[in-house]
Structure 1
């Protein structure tokens, strides 16, 4: 599958970069877009960020050394571009305006929950979590990254990842329990 793209670390002049880019987009396009959306919570922004990510991958693909997986490399670029967007003054103004205008802890339970991606209520709960918790949940459960890959991607220690993941699970469990009691 997508891990078969390890050939990318051996690219040299002469490879057809457009074919490599197409390969990347086919294998990781949905993951990149989803992660951008999870971080920004805006589909039109996720569209723009996904395009920027693959443009960056296209221009920097010869520099990829294979020190991480291709997926982790692309998700790192996605996170950086998403955070850059979120830090922009335009975003803060629009988000503030939108707010005025717009009106379980066990791993088995979480695995079941994340396997039901079409459940809108669940994703609303995930999206309501603070970004630092949302990120670790998505990277761990949805993308299946290892703790050390998540730590490297987020530029934090493995202990911080574990702590955030534990807190995210606790918050998800509380929100899911509350949601079930209200139903």
Structure 2
């Protein structure tokens, strides 16, 4: 396990779960929220699901066996809860409104603007993909998971992950080309 939180697989009753939960939220909170958002396409739902994910992790902390990374474990919980939400009777489609913040420290204003526009264009395109393509792209490129980890996380074969990543890239290229033609 490559996480710094390898100690989780050795937890026994009596550990300070509150402290561990804070560590998990600090280290993986943004990843969990982003993944929930990319699956559901709703910021308000991602807020709620993130809380539910960490509550579930808190409640099942002693059952973590270290068969995968802590990040994969949390993203699996996130995926399952997000899909459950999408299948629930309360799901309603809402217009996507979002914002992504540039991670540059202090570049020229034009660079910030162009970077934000380009990032926004890419994320808007990713969000248009069907969920099965969207999630493998996010897990692969944004979270840097290996195809083997993604396969285990979403319960498909590694070959399926590879083909979905390939098809997702192809669809992304088609969508971006279409958008460029319209401009």
TM range (shorter): 0.7 to 0.9
Match of 1:8 in 2: 8
Match of 2:22 in 1: 22
Match of 1:174 in 2: 174
Q: How far, CA to CA, are the matches of 2:81 and 2:68 in structure 1?
A: 18
Q: Cα offset for 1:178?
A: 1.9
Q: Provide the alpha-carbon RMSD of the alignment.
A: 1.5
Match of 2:46 in 1: 46
User: What is the CA deviation profile of residues 52-108 of structure 1, one whole-angstrom value per residue up to 9, with x for unaligned ones?
Assistant: 0000000100000000000000000000000000001121xx22xx58xxxxxxxxx
1:30-179 aligned at under 5 Å gives the runs: 30-91=30-91, 94-95=92-93, 98=94, 119-179=119-179
Structure 1 consecutive aligned stretches of length 4 or more whose deviation exceeds 3 Å: none
Q: Cα offset for 1:175?
A: 1.1
Q: How far, CA to CA, are the matches of 2:145 and 2:160 in structure 1?
A: 15
Q: Cα 1:166–1:48, aligned 2, differ >3 Å: closer, same or farther?
A: same
Q: How far, CA to CA, are the matches of 1:83 and 1:174 in structure 2?
A: 26
Unpaired runs of at least 5, structure 2: 96-114
Q: Cα offset for 1:117?
A: 7.2
Q: How far, CA to CA, are the matches of 2:81 and 2:174 in structure 1?
A: 31
TM-score, length-scaled by structure 1? 0.85
Q: Cα offset for 1:182?
A: 2.5
The count of aligned residue pairs is 162
Q: Cα offset for 1:15?
A: 1.1
Unpaired runs of at least 5, structure 1: 100-115
TM-score, length-scaled by structure 2? 0.85
Q: How far, CA to CA, are the matches of 1:143 and 1:117 in structure 2?
A: 20
